[in-house]
Amino acid sequence: MATQTQVMPGRTTALSTSSQSIKRQKVLQIILLYLLSIGLSLLFIFPFFWTVSTSLKALDELFTFPPTWLPAVPQWQNYPAVLNRVPFLLWTWNSIYIVALNTLGTVLSASLVAYSFARFRYRWREAIFIITLGTMMLPDQVTMIPQYVLFHKLGWINTHLPLWLPSWFGGGAFAIFLIRQFIMSLPRELDEAALIDGANYWRIFWQILMPLCKPVMATIAVITFIGTWNDFQRPLIYLQLRELFTLAVGLNYFNTLPEMGGEPMQALLMAASVMMIIPVIVLFFVAQRYFVQGIVLSGIKG
């Protein structure tokens, strides 16, 4: 904990000697805080470093003791080797297009629904909204089995439909809630002026509110992207065919693959992990602001 000693301006001359020692103490404190932050950063970064380092190691280097920090000769061919061992590119494509459809569906349909909740008055609106929020509290375990049965009856097991189609029906409570809060913070006069000018609700939504909602849309898009990319349990349940896998289940499959001729696969597994992690991290760096904002909003207003 930092001691926040503050020197009152009027008394500095009288206490010049002690204020100097306070200043020194403060500098020392800042140095300690930096050291602590850097130490913790190393702790958080090290596993990533180790993953990348392992992914570039040769077979005989994997199990040497003590382990080497860096590969003697970086084995870049480990990365293309992953593509030969498992249909990694196909899985990547599956992930990308499911993520894209999911994100688009969530942003579009959630914003329509949010517009309705934020700007229209009708019977049962509050009740439906409370039910909507209630769905956020319910663990997936309850709805998972009946949803599976439903998709089974529709013949959609071993298709990608269960993984993206539901998002086109409102996009989920979290997205609706966040966009609704955002629309409610926009002045209602905007809508009313447009209405008087003869715009219909659709135009108000599309041409006035949507452009203003870009930040919250970006937030929802980033959160949905990362959530879908990382999602494991749903693709695990719905996809049994290797060529339909997303990266998450594909990576797990790769891990459980029997070793070929007893040859260790850790380097390839780590290479595959690196390839799966990188897009998320890149996206996060590009859209960090929106991402952090969304989480913080959900925490404060939820």
Sites for other proteins among residues 82-111 (CB under 8 A): 109
Asked if the peptide bond before residue 80 counts as cis, ω within 30 degrees of 0, the response is no
Among 91, 117, 174, 245, binds other proteins (CB under 8 A): 117
255 binds other proteins, rule: CB under 8 A? yes
Contact region for other proteins (CB under 8 A) — 12-20, 72-80, 212-220, 242-250? 242-250
> In this structure, what DSSP letter does residue 258 have?
P
- Binder among 27, 50, 70, 158 for other proteins (CB under 8 A): 50
Place of tokens 């293309």: 80
| Minimum CB–partner distance for residue 63 and other proteins (Å) | 5
> What is the C-alpha separation between 205 and 199, in angstroms, rounded?
10
Closest CA to 174 of 107, 76, 91, 251: 107
Among residues 220, 239, 276, 287, which is the contact residue for other proteins, using CB under 8 A? 276
Kindly provide the b/e burial profile for residues 21-51, where b requires at least 16 CB atoms within 10 angstroms of the residue's own CB.
Answer: eeeeebeeeeeeeeeeeeeeeeeeeeeeeee
If binding is defined by CB under 8 A, does position 33 make contact with other proteins?
Answer: yes
CA neighbor of 220 nearest in space, from 161, 300, 128, 287? 287
Residues 167-186 that bind other proteins (CB under 8 A): 168-170, 176, 184
CB 254 within 8 A of CB 86: yes
Which of 11, 23, 35, 48 lies at the binding interface for other proteins (CB under 8 A)? Answer: 48
The first and second tokens of residue 84, run together, are 């030969």
150 sits near other proteins (criterion: CB under 8 A): yes
Q: Which of 9, 10, 66, 211 binds other proteins (CB under 8 A)?
A: 66
Task: Check if the beta carbon of residue 85 is closer than 8 Å to that of residue 253.
Answer: no
* Rounded distance between C-alpha atoms, residue 39 and residue 109, angstroms: 44
Interaction with other proteins in 129-148: which residues (CB under 8 A)? 129-133, 135, 137-148
Separation between Cα atoms, residue 302 and residue 289, nearest integer Å: 19
- Determine which residue in the list 159, 166, 186, 208 makes contact with other proteins, applying CB under 8 A: 166
Candidate segments 18-26, 73-81, 84-92, 246-254, binder of other proteins by CB under 8 A: 246-254
Applying CB under 8 A, the site for other proteins has a residue count of: 107
Residues 188-217 touching other proteins, rule: CB under 8 A, are 188-189, 192, 195-196, 201, 205
User: Can you tell me which of 91, 115, 245, 290 binds other proteins, judged by CB under 8 A?
Assistant: 115
Find the binder of other proteins among 9, 14, 17, 121 (CB under 8 A).
121
Instruction: Report which residue type is found at 233.
Output: Q
